[in-house]
Structure 1
């Protein structure tokens, strides 16, 4: 068996197997596609019917709301008009409303007993559609106040001075006087004192919805149904032989596919009126529908396979004829001389242009490229020799670069040493100047904040020293390569950047702490009215919280005169307000329905003024209260908190203002800051400004 015959046989078998696999896959996919298509069509139709039903129910609710507002209006004006005129206007309102709303089959306005007149117990107007058009009546139900649909809107036991919890109430489906399934929407009415006045109703016939469900019959035995869960009853005569088929439905308004014990397909959707629209499709009928579709396409697919195999056989035979000639020419176009190792290439001659012409031309180009590659190989060898000489020159300049990098490292080491010296000097100054019990905590907090970037800097410098020693060793052993040197330069640059960034960070921390420790009393002491001044501060801070759900209240004695530093007091109030807006009432937890409250209360106790700053926010645990006034303590480090706000408040109150501050808080119960200030700041406290 020749190679050509084997190739032909293999191609034909592969084509037949491929078509068979495609056909099986097509049949399987076709089955799934047809089922999915019918499923999607049914679900879309159900969803459209539910949407139509929801839109119609919304229109019914709007009409009922309009009638309710009209009934409320007539109650407001009936004392200016006699009852007969009100009756006439009620009749015109109902006729005008339902003449422009043909989808409703009736509706009315029903007042509470003796609501419009002390002489008439019931006043109820009703309009309904009949064979002659719209009809109006006053005696539709004379005892309507006790009817089940009226009790749904206003139960007898419901207090008349309280609002009903809903705007609309839908009745369960019922059969009206015309023998049609209907539903009624009931809207409560209120008088100008917000007392229950009566109800307005709109009636809706369901046969149109039932008729639209009949369009969902995919197969002859499909069952479209309309089901009322509140009644546990099917509407329209069609029902399913399944016990509680809709028990697995969730509360959403999307079309759902439900499981059935007999393998049928059940699709259902819940409307906003509470009714369920569903269709049940027998599984065997849908399978027969799919089988019929697949059998129609099977004959066509078999015919296509036969035609394709025939064309492939003819095409392959035509292709192999010139291929045989090309194989013969290829065997004689390349010769190898084993003695000299030379390859002789004779380009193939193209006598005619066919589908193999490009192959022959490509083969000829490949032979020429082999010769060109040999020439380029010799050229590459020459370039390698030149590159070797360049490497030797680079080694000669390497020593100078090593000296330069060593000098840079020495300079960075001096910067680290100087930063350490400045840190120790700053710590000594803090120890000498601090005069209260929290001195140890302040120095520890500062040292912890600064030691981190300094430790990173020392680590980076130590790593660069080790890298330098390793490079010197390789250089002395003539093992230093260009790649290693480039890696060393990049590593050194990254180490220098890390050390410089962390040194700058340490310097920033030192400068910030110095700014906190510097005397805050830079203004003059004066007399001012305390309540008015705090009110001015709150007014200036109002843009910070006026769009937030936070209410600020100031309670104080307007005759409270104090002699102190107003600038320091303003900074204390500002910090307290900003801390409350940030921590007690975080912006991400704002709730317009539950606003927060901040209360500032001023009282006088002897020669002191007592300022109480309270909020009803998140509060703080006991551990946070103990550390609140320590420098650099913050509960929001990831949001950029510096931990100096409460520390500055305590520093200003105790030192510059000559007072005291206490804090009390519980989680979830807010926080209270109590500040006691002397009404007349003495000379000793004022000396804080000089210090």
Structure 2
């Protein structure tokens, strides 16, 4: 079976040589239909690459730039919207400041007139507000006389807490002090803060009150930031992203609430530093916000909220010294370009496909006769026919057929010679294996048979000497001595002949295995020992060492002949190639068995190793690095076919120059059944 397998492979290899020989006749190497198909494919690929290049280097950057300009315009439009919102509060505060300055200083008048103004028709964005006169200006002799209203539902409620004489005094607050230096016609906005009573984020607008250019107090309106945050949130969603905003003190006014944890019991807003910890992908944008003068675009590799690459456009809002950042997915920026590219690729690709179909139909008609000729030629090559090609007209096709007929005659004679060489190589490999086996038999039997012969000769000598003694009277001691010599000699003969019988049995089993496809159960350790026994004459002449580490009772139901041939080939491969320039080498053979009933057999050497170029071709037939020096190039090819075919396994090799080689064979403990293999010997 072994020789049949590799003979079939050799036949296939020879057929490949036939194809290569035939293919070298035609020039150019590519057929016309292939050239047409290749040309069409090249045109299609070049067209698609051109579209891709134009999109990537021109269209997409231009569209992205336009999209960025749109976002920038949207950002300024957002600022205009915030200006309008804050402008309403600023106008209301200025109106209250003007009335607080011009009205008579009457407490009853103030407490009845101003609540509707602060309420502003129930505007929910206004949390409260007040009029804060300078000490002793509203009522002489009274240092603290302020009027503050806070929202309670739809109405405003008056609070007198800031007039407490034991309190800090409103005229020492930062929002009051800023009004002393502020112009009359504009609002001074505070930084964002959380109101200690309502726990709501808000900002305060402060407008000074002046009489004849003399500062007499301030008017304030407290504005909730919920409305601003809602505007920013809607703006982010309209752009398929989200918005964050920081005030002048780097406090977070707006942020993606789904990704940020904020305790409702805090008395302060989140800082930019705290926001960085929870939104690390915005670190660069948040840090850039601290020194931003106008606007800037930043790219994020992966945004944690959008789960993709994104752009961050940050812009300065000078009215309140805020920084507003809009985060949009990068895919939205490039969606138009991608859609256009897909459309162009489908359109141009479809057009080219139609053109290609028309060209293929035309070429098919032109190449019909050539295709028919080619089919007949391949039938001749594959052996499906031995008839010569018919030549009708001596045109280009006729000349081709005539040349093929002439070349076919030459090729037939060449194939006959190759087949003869093939048979010779098979016989040489077989005789080489049997020769090694015979040498092993002769070498191993020499010692026990020699010892038995020596003992038999000694018994014969003792017997002749005893016969001479019988001519005279003998003593009991003479008889006992004779019997002792005979007993010892016969025991020696028996032991050595038993050893010879055991060796003959082992060699007989190995010979049967190597020359048949018999499947049987066997012990792996015992089989390896039999293989090494057959190689002992060769190994004893060499200084190399072989170590075996295989557990006892590792039973296989497989093909011992194939496995023996594999081991012999791998050992010989190491002796011939790995140790060619090494004085003393070492071969290790060890095996393990996994829980999935797979057996792993490893043959490892510390020899010369192999380069990548050699390693990738070692299983090719007739490949050898020692051509003409004892290497046929068939050993590892046969090994590969036996492992993957007969034994139903796989073989792996790891090797580097000067680091040795390791062949690992993985086979099932129960080999697969093969058609035609029955358990009968077939030599």
TM tier relative to shorter chain = 0.3 to 0.5
Q: What's the TM-score, normalizing by structure 1?
A: 0.36
Q: Which has the larger radius of gyration?
A: 2
> Which structure is richer in relative contact order (CA contacts within 8 A, separation 6 or more)?
2
Q: What's the TM-score, normalizing by structure 2?
A: 0.36
